[in-house]
Structure 1
Amino acid sequence: MQKFSLFFISLIIILGISYIDAFTRHDFPEDFLFGAATSAYQWEGAVDEDGRTPSVWDTFTHSDDKGNGDIACDGYHKYKEDVKLIAEMGLEAFRFSISWTRLIPNGRGPINPKGLRFYKNLIKELRSHGIEPHVTLHHYDFPQSLEDEYGGWINRKIIEDFTAFADVCFREFGDDVKFWTTIDEANVFAIGGYSQGIVGPGHCTSTKSVKCSTGNSSTEPYIVGHNLLLAHASASKLYRLKYKTKQRGSVGLSIFSHGLTPYTNSKDDEIATERAKDFFCGWMLKPLVSGDYPEVMKRNVGLRLPVFTEQESEQVKGSSDFVGIIHYTTVYVTNSKPTPSLLPNDSNFFTDTGFEIIFTGNASVSSWKSVPWGFESVLEYVKQSYNNPPIYVLENGLPLEHDTTLQDSERVEYIQDYIGAMLNAIKNGSDTRGYFVWSVIDLFELLAGYETSFGLYFVNFSDPGLKRSPKLSASWYTGFLNGTIDVVPQDILQLESNFSASSSL
């Protein structure tokens, strides 16, 4: 029976979207937003220009050989060109983040006038083209100065500093920005940065296979997760008290969510999958709804899991106007034995969970598989488990090897499949209100450097001018948004034929 279950799941993956009906842009609600995304460190470059100071990502990326964002796509100087590309694609919204150290170089205190002017100009440029800015405040790149001073997110002092940073952003940009995401994929930032040590600031308990200069994988991810929630709630409260009446915007928190499905049809794997959902998603979402962590986390993590005071619980509960979902692929979950909470020095986030993840491809970014039904299941899960909050899909896309090919047919198929799955979820009652392709152009990728890319536009990183060239996916997205492409197979084949005849680098 288990073999049959695996075969059936594999068959669904191979068939892709065969269960999804044809659709058009007009099948979505009129006010639904389609856009694309980027982030400051991955796009802007200009790492030490005009008063910007280092973030933890500068420090972290300079410690390995995957490259860095010193120049990246040079969006700092080429933002007008990129906004023009965004407008020509017909995008309705653009998601970007604000570099804390470009705006407030010391992490707190005086505002950098040149950094302030850059973001005002970027937002003005977007608005002049009718593009809705979606702004993220923290996309991994908090100030190195605060990390050095008091440990950054492992210290509650950061809540005050983050709220002050948010206050500046709300005050200076809020008349033109109606959508604010406080923290980008809060769960994965805490896990990757403080349990695994694979993203900045690179904290973990060192093992034979992973070396970190500092950290404690058994405690820090939970401390950081707690402080992220409190900082989000603090910024959200500030916005509601000080700005919302006039600016009429909304503030949300984003999480990373794999689709999660049992590896076998055994009861143990089914229970492990529910536990995985609590650890990955419920860790952040349950406090936003009920003011406390999932019970299974309390049991497995024990005293290492921080406790909300009554006041904190009330402040966190209901603090998100929307939930940002970042989703790329689906993984299998199989049961394993959790490490008892009485042995904290031998624990980390994954040993606490009592499950293991098996990728549908393998763990490398370049082999993520298209599993649209898994995306639909994520939206359905959030709807059913967390009171159907408004959702913005803030990142979704397919990584491919970064080379000179512009005919990214595989990405086109992926995007249309996932948009179709999202439409199914909406028809089934999910309050999903927006979708952002990651990414608008090829970027410096946080895990893969310049080896793989997600862009709708190709960036020639060997060219001093960093020339941008449209890929097939940009043409498809444009056609879908302006209504000249319906999602049916023959239209895709025709698009490929037309693109092949006209494209060149």
Structure 2
Amino acid sequence: MIKNMSNFSVFVLIMTMSLGLRILLVCGENINGNVSGYDFPSGFVFGAASSAYQMEGAVDKDGRTPSIWDTFAHSGYMNGATGDIACDVYHKYKEDVQLMVETGLDAFRFSISWSRLIPNGRGPVNPMGLRFYNNFIDELVSHGIQPHVTLHHVDLPQVLEDEYGGWISRKIVKDFVEYADVCFSEFGDRVKHWTTINEANVFTLGGYDLGFQPPARCSRPFGLTECSTGNSSTEPYIAGHHMLLAHASAARLYEKNYKDKQHGLIGINIFSYYFVPLTDSIEDEIATQRANDFYIGWFWNPLIFGDYPDIMKKNAGSRIPAFTVEESDSIRGSFDFLGLNYYNVMYVEDKSSTLQSENRDVVADIAIKLHSVQNDPSIFEYPITPWGLAGVLEYIKQHYNNPLIYIHENGQRTRRNSTLEDRSRVEYLQAHVGTLLDTIRNGSNVKGYFTWSLLDYFEMLDGYESGYGLYYVDLDDPNLKRQPKLSAHWYSDFLKRKEKASL
């Protein structure tokens, strides 16, 4: 594995080594500071996002068993950082719900820890885990905050990984659907927004191709960590295939057994950059479409059209599984909304001339070189590129029949111990919500926006070195004291102007 550097630096190194990033400075945009939540359509929700392992802590309390994220963190991939305590939301959830109320959130997006709810991956439900999530959801609802729940946010129960390889086995479909069934049954009377899998595309690439995310499966020469097992040429496609089958099966179960009674919505989430041709050459334009097909189309083409993009099937060949007619019919249309995570822009250069004929992995199949708006490790914060968000949404509108979208993640990265005067985050949020309003007025079917994140959580790419939160969490304080940043005050003012206007 790669040691002695933050995982964000590892990520930069990964992209530099595998995809050949270099930095291109892009001027950010800004918006009129007078824009508020009141300007958005009626019913539009604003919230903040999180995940179980990143916020809960209490990893060995009250019957919870390890997930693949526990194993990954304790194996040294995070330079000693773990989510063992994280923000201790497991014990401090009432305090944190009060922060949401004070901020003025309409909704809060979080995930359920499968191994806290069902410690063996299947079978008996853990009553203490069930009690925690019931209490947490009740606390949100009692304060008028919509719970938006993700079923799988990287943290598959380790017992299922050990037993049959987790997502690389078709057995996962049955176990995932049974887990989803428990969640729908126990929480669906209050939860009206379900996301099956978070960042399905990043999970396949990071977990099964490059190996820099749990469960750290990869193979040489493609893996960028010292993976002990895996096959980068085949497993990403197999895992992604099973995720689509599991999602569709869970969605069809919800549609059949719960939707008429609970009146909820279900979807799946992906991550996307806004891809732009590096030059005006035909080759770079084709490569940009290829990037969109592999990042977005990998999951959304089957969901909307019933099959993978043609270029994926051509380049991956027999390494990508095929859907049966029945599977295609089940997957097509198996969603009420699609979740999108967006942070910044990537410029695409064609590299198809270097595509190898054998032992290709997903990165080689895409055959592009990415030029990032952020590559220099000394530039810690994301450039402010809201026009990229507008570009992604326009692409989705034009290519995928303008589906209902929730922006599930969007936020600014800063150093965790930086000042509470996080003006760059204010500028980032202000610019993106303003541009989002423009895209909605231009016809994009977006119904919600969730900033990443409410608190400074344990982060996937660099543990506790960075913070995305509206609230700083003091890790040196035994009580993990929360302190509002300037961005918390800005977001609160933005949202409360909406409340005042409706009075």
Using structure 2 for the length normalisation, give the TM-score. Answer: 0.92
3-state DSSP of counterpart to 2:75: coil
| Alpha carbons of structure 1 residues 363 and 219: separation in structure 2 relative to 1, 3 Å | farther
CA contact (8 A) 1:44 1:71 kept: yes
State the distance in 2 between where 1:412 and 1:436 align.
14
State the distance in 1 between where 2:40 and 2:235 align.
42
3-state DSSP of counterpart to 2:27: helix
CA contact (8 A) 1:89 1:477 kept: yes
Q: Are residue 354 (structure 1) and residue 370 (structure 2) matched?
A: no
| Superposed CA offset, 1:178-235 (max 9, x none) | 0000000100100100001000000001348532100110000000110000000000
What is the Cα deviation at residue 462 of structure 1? 1.2
State the distance in 2 between where 1:326 and 1:307 align.
27
RMSD: 1.8
State the distance in 2 between where 1:88 and 1:225 align.
39
Q: Are residue 212 (structure 1) and residue 224 (structure 2) matched?
A: no
State the distance in 1 between where 2:354 and 2:282 align.
20
Paired amino acid for 2:60: D
3-state DSSP of counterpart to 2:247: helix
The percentage of aligned residue pairs carrying the same residue is 56
What is the Cα deviation at residue 366 of structure 1? 3.2
What is the Cα deviation at residue 405 of structure 1? 1.2
Matching residue of 1:292: 307
| Alpha carbons of structure 1 residues 38 and 265: separation in structure 2 relative to 1, 3 Å | same
From 130, 145, 148, the counterpart of 1:134: 148
3-state DSSP of counterpart to 2:147: strand
Paired amino acid for 1:219: T
Paired amino acid for 2:260: T
From 170, 176, 186, the counterpart of 2:200: 186
3-state DSSP of counterpart to 2:204: helix
| Superposed CA offset, 1:30-65 (max 9, x none) | 100000011000000001000000000000011111
Matching residue of 2:134: 120
| Alpha carbons of structure 1 residues 363 and 63: separation in structure 2 relative to 1, 3 Å | farther
CA contact (8 A) 1:339 1:352 kept: no
1:53-64 equivalence runs, <5 A: 53-64=65-76
Q: Are residue 233 (structure 1) and residue 248 (structure 2) matched?
A: yes
1:297-316 equivalence runs, <5 A: 297-316=312-331
3-state DSSP of counterpart to 2:83: coil
Matching residue of 2:11: none
CA contact (8 A) 1:408 1:472 kept: yes
3-state DSSP of counterpart to 2:352: coil
Matching residue of 1:331: 346
3-state DSSP of counterpart to 1:366: coil
1:333-482 equivalence runs, <5 A: 333-337=348-352, 343=358, 345=359, 347-362=360-375, 366-482=380-496
3-state DSSP of counterpart to 2:408: strand
Matching residue of 1:38: 50
* Aligned structure 1 segments of 4 or more residues deviating by more than 2 angstroms: 20-24, 206-210, 338-342, 363-368
Count residues in correspondence. Answer: 474
State the distance in 1 between where 2:160 and 2:295 align.
27
What is the Cα deviation at residue 421 of structure 1? 1.3
Structure 1 stretches lacking a partner, 5+ long:
1-8, 487-505
Matching residue of 1:148: 162
| Superposed CA offset, 1:2-44 (max 9, x none) | xxxxxxx978x325236x7952222101100000011000000
State the distance in 2 between where 1:29 and 1:484 align.
11
What is the Cα deviation at residue 484 of structure 1? 8.1
Structure 2 stretches lacking a partner, 5+ long:
1-22
What is the Cα deviation at residue 367 of structure 1? 4.0
Paired amino acid for 2:42: E
| Superposed CA offset, 1:322-372 (max 9, x none) | 0000111111111102676851x2x11111101111111217593432111
Paired amino acid for 1:60: F
CA contact (8 A) 2:47 2:451 kept: yes
State the distance in 1 between where 2:499 and 2:303 align.
39
